[in-house]
A and B are shown apart, each in its own frame.
Chain A
Amino acid sequence: MRAVATTDRAGTGPRRAGGASEEAPPAPRRRRPRWPRRPGTRGRLRLLAALALALVAALFAATHLALERARDGLDVIGHGEGRKVVATADLYFALSDMDAQMANVLLLGAEHDLGAGRDAALERYGDRRADANRALLHAAQLAAGDPVEEQNVWAVMDGMNTYERLVAEARLLNDADDDPAGPPSQDVIERYREAADLMRRDLLPKAYNLTLDSGATVRSTYEENSAAATAGIGLVAAAAAALVAVLVVLQLFLRRRFRRRHNIPLALATAGVLVLGLAAVAMLQRQSELLRSAKEDGLESVLALSRARAISTGMNADQSRWLMDPEHAATYEQNFLEDAQTVVFLVPEDGDVPGNLRGYTTEVTAAVPRHDDYPGRMLGLLGEEIATGGGEAETRAQQRTLRTFAAFLRADERMRDIAREGDTAAAVDAHITGPDSVEAVFADYEEALIDLTDLHLTTFDSSVDQAEDHLAGWNAGVIAACGAFALLIAAGVRPRLAEYR
């Protein structure tokens, strides 16, 4: 800033007599100031006015920048990556359900009127394939620019083609057999086993990892954003505080040097800056809070529950495989238990984690009435959601989900008991037909899980909407307010400067 090198001309400038303050000019008897470049009253007035105007510009820049950052954060989490991550989470479910439906199609053989039936399973298979393709498209967009992830997307696409070829062959063989419901012929089983292995060993892990990686992208974007937002709030607060201080100094300076009690425009500007500064900081903090809620209470729960749904679908498929392929039944049962424990993992108070399916089913059933005060630890994708709790609607939805999950496990136990007694046809029946069948109970559980997911999706949407509403009008407001501050400062200082003309 330019220092104005003018000396005081005694009598021409209104000066308080006997100024003893720090800013006091040199003693009147001294003809030349000791420090020739030290500015005089006019110079200081100009300097302070210029400083105030510069700080108005700084306040404008800081607020504008913080608003832009808040808007970027909302765009990425609320509309861009966040949305796509939700879409990729569907990929795993779609693939997993394709496989579950195909297992049903093969198990049902030529019987067209059992339960939901073969045609319904085929139709659902087609829908899921379309979902999978759509989700892959989103995953490809999210992976763009990351060669490792791009290759992963390609591998899933290739794998899907191979899988479809294998199940098409299995179906052709199965149709040629024209068997009634029950385990299909060995050829069909072998072809399907190959397809199911590809799905389980290769495709599903890759699909799951894609979802995890896009979740990681959202997390790192969010963290960068929230660090930047905190720094932005600090800058706005600092600029506003500095401006208020300079305006107060200016006010005091005018009072001393020009014997003015109040300078109305400057007082207005000071009040305005205080209001804008406080409002901006409060609004930006609210933005961070809403974005955090959108991510933690919304997106992260949606992702965890989508994974729980996808894994549950895999459990459902493992039941069909268990019935269809007795030779590998032990493996499918173990897969079922491990998947169930990924969804809800219970550590009873005595620390004795149930190690087999029967013990696990008993423990989950026992936990249902005590979902909010389970004496041990409730872990796993759904378990942690339940343990975290939430609002009234969420708690109720969580309780319903756990209750239907337990019912699904008990229906599974009944089906396995029937099959173990040697009556495969009755077991297939218990699996597929009637209101108490595994399929019907699973549908209840799935619906509860979807409703719970939707609650979190609503939290996500409403947080993003609220944050957007809060931002509306701020750009114009900040321009108008800062313009007004500049004009008020000019209006407050100009008449005093004019006294020197």
Chain B
Amino acid sequence: MRLRHLACAAVLAVALPACAVTAGEHASILDAQTLRIGVKGDQPGLGLRTGVDTYAGFDVDVAYYIAGELGVAREDVEFVQVTSEEREDVLIDDEVDLVLATYSITQLRKTVVNFGGPYYVARQDILVRADNTDIQGVEDLAGRKLCQGAGSNSANRIIEERGIDAQRVERATYSECIDLLAVGVVDAVSTDDLILAGYLAEAPSAFRLVGEPFTSEKYGIGVAKEDVAGCEAVNRAVTQMYQDGTASRLLDKWFGDTGLDLVRTVPQFEGCG
């Protein structure tokens, strides 16, 4: 009897620390059989909803590649449409495993989520109508009507931080800004060059990219804060994507015809944890 008690005590003594170790671990994307990935649904060229559960764009293709590198087949990837405001919450609440949604890495966001990548460093640029030859740089926006999407900071950067006297027009989304630009209500739209290139690819003859980029927008892959190992695996996948030429091919596929100066070398990662 006593020996049996001892045996139990011994088993407990061995098992307890082992239990403690497993309890501390969060489910990692490394062990995932399926992946839920948050993408944009209204961003042509990056993440655009094309059917009930289907999405298309650069972000979507990168998401498929990373899922593949993590050992998850195409059919086991489930896309979830997220808005800009939701991106942190869906990761914190474990509603998605990854976020690829023109998700800029910032020091503040890094305090609540992990960022794999960036998989691309976009820069703020300016889109004008194709027939507009006056605007050649950010300084030429003085006195012009500049449209920005709600919640965006792009026009403020030009007007307040750069001190250029442009007239700010605000609309709910950048798609609405593009519509205003097409009909001539505004003179320019300024935001990330990849986003602008996505609109340009839809109507190549209507618009022109000014091509005077400023500021860096590091598009990261959002991973849960606890999943450092998963974030590191995402970084290895992005490295691989640039090494095997997939990144270059995907950039050409979505933005090749826009005249955008595409960077085809692996970006400097942000670091996990």
Contacts and interface: CB of A to CB of B under 8 A. Distances in A.
Contact of A205 (B15, B214, B266, B272): B266
B269 A230 contact: no
Given A201-B265, A234-B13, A334-B215, A212 B271 contact: yes
A202 B215 CA distance: 18
Contacts of A246: 3, 6
Contacts of B162: 356
Contacts of A22: 1
Contact of A231 (B18, B108, B267): B18
Contacts of A220: 229, 232
A338 interface: yes
A437 to B, nearest CB: 27
A5 interface: no
A429 interface: no
B160 to A, nearest CB: 7
A380 interface: yes
B216 interface: yes
Interface in A314-335: 330-331, 334-335
A149 B10 CA distance: 44
A146 B161 CA distance: 45
Contact of B107 (A213, A237, A359, A380): A380
B168 interface: no
Nearest to A235: B14
Contacts of B15: 234
Interface in B1-53: 1-3, 6-7, 9-11, 13-18, 20-21
B10 A242 contact: yes
B232 A216 contact: yes
Interface in A19-60: 22, 51
Nearest to A337: B215
B248 interface: no
A152 B239 contact: yes
A353 B156 CA distance: 13
Given A227-B21, A241-B10, A212 B108 contact: no
A238 interface: yes
A341 interface: yes
Contacts of B150: none
Nearest to A246: B6
Contact of A208 (B108, B216, B269): B269
B213 A331 contact: yes
Interface residues of A, number: 48
B161 A355 contact: yes
A242 B214 contact: no
B17 A241 contact: no
A234 B17 contact: yes
A204 B228 CA distance: 23
B81 interface: no
11 contacts: A152-B239, A205-B267, A234-B14, A238-B11, A241-B6, A338-B215, A341-B107, A355-B157, A377-B108, A377-B111, A379-B110
Given A213-B232, A241-B6, 9 more contacts: A151-B243, A201-B265, A208-B268, A212-B235, A212-B269, A213-B236, A220-B229, A239-B10, A334-B214
Contact of A245 (B6, B240, B269, B271): B6
A245 B2 contact: yes
Interface in A369-423: 377, 379-380
A476 interface: no
A78 interface: no
A205 B265 contact: yes
A201 B235 contact: no
A103 to B, nearest CB: 19
Contacts of B2: 245, 249
Contacts of B240: 148
Interface in B226-273: 228-229, 232, 235-236, 239-240, 243, 263, 265-269, 271-273
A335 B161 CA distance: 15
A379 B214 contact: no
Interface string A222-237: 0000010011011101
A215 interface: yes
A148 B243 contact: yes
A257 interface: no
A213 B235 CA distance: 9
A219 interface: yes
A249 B156 CA distance: 80
B10 A233 contact: no
Contacts of A334: 214-216
A245 B107 CA distance: 55
B269 to A, nearest CB: 5
Given A205-B268, A231-B21, A355 B6 contact: no
A19 to B, nearest CB: 15
A231 B263 CA distance: 48
A209 interface: yes
A206 interface: yes
Contacts of B21: 227, 230-231
B36 to A, nearest CB: 24
Contacts of A241: 6, 9-10, 13
Contacts of B213: 331
B104 to A, nearest CB: 12
A201 B265 CA distance: 7
B267 A238 contact: no
A347 interface: yes
B141 to A, nearest CB: 13
A192 interface: no
Contacts of B111: 377, 379
Interface in B153-175: 153, 156-157, 160-162
Contacts of B268: 204-205, 208-209
A345 interface: yes
Interface in A270-314: none
Contact of B236 (A148, A206, A245, A341): A148
Contact of B265 (A202, A213, A227, A359): A202
B14 A216 contact: no
